């Protein structure tokens, strides 16, 4: 039997569609924090206008290769982060998840882990992928701990892959198989 209502709501957050009009300015504000920008990806940390973010969001609306959600805090409905599933293809075996909490005061308070549990459930039970992967920079230890907590396994690292702030850092790969996730939720 299916539940009467199936939504992407967890204990702390809900995954909701990104609204380009509502969110582009918020996303721009988050990127003014260079610490945040340097956690996002390997591109040089630069500033984007709300207009350019809006244009990018519009381009990816209804994309069949990318799932893009905003993370909304249940307590006050504030948009606090973004989460994506990328590299989705027909018959995808493996997809990559990317997550960021833009509101820095909320880092380390469990919102990211809650959002990650929701996206895993979505990836495995709706998209029916075999596994979910992620990459994370060696200097983002807080994120690594959060991913371990949710059930991701370490699968290796590309040593000295990233050159940032005057030194080189490793790129870590983590992943979780559907079968491992199914075991995990049995005990939750």
Return residues touching other proteins (CB under 8 A).
Answer: 42-44, 89-91, 93-94, 130-131, 133, 153, 155-164, 168, 173, 175, 177
Least distance (Å) between residue 64 CB and other proteins: 9
| 112 vs 175 by CB, closer to other proteins | 175
| 108 vs 135 by CB, closer to other proteins | 135
Long-range pairs, 175-180, Cβ under 8 A, ≥24: 175/94, 175/131, 175/132, 175/133, 175/134, 176/120, 176/131, 176/132, 176/150, 176/151, 176/152, 177/130, 177/131, 178/124, 178/129, 178/130, 178/131, 180/151, 180/153
| 28 vs 92 by CB, closer to other proteins | 92
| 43 vs 76 by CB, closer to other proteins | 43
């Amino acid at each position: 039997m299916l539940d009467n209502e199936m939504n992407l709501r967890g204990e702390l957050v809900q995954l909701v569609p990104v609204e380009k009009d509502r969110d582009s300015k918020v996303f721009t504000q988050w990127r003014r924090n260079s610490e945040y920008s340097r956690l996002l990806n390997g591109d040089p940390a630069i500033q984007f206008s709300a207009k350019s973010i809006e244009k990018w969001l519009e381009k990816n609306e209804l994309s069949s290769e990318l799932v893009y959600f905003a993370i909304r805090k249940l307590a006050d409905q504030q948009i606090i982060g973004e989460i994506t599933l990328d590299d989705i293809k027909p018959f995808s075996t493996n997809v990559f998840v990317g997550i960021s909490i833009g509101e820095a005061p909320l880092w380390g308070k469990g919102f990211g882990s809650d959002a990650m549990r929701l996206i895993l459930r979505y990836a495995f039970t709706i998209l029916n992928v075999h596994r979910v992967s992620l990459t994370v920079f060696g200097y983002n230890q807080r994120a690594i701990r959060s991913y371990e907590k949710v059930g991701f396994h370490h699968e290796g690292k590309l040593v000295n892959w990233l050159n940032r702030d005057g030194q080189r850092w490793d790129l870590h790969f983590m992943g979780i198989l559907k079968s491992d996730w199914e075991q995990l939720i049995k005990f939750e």
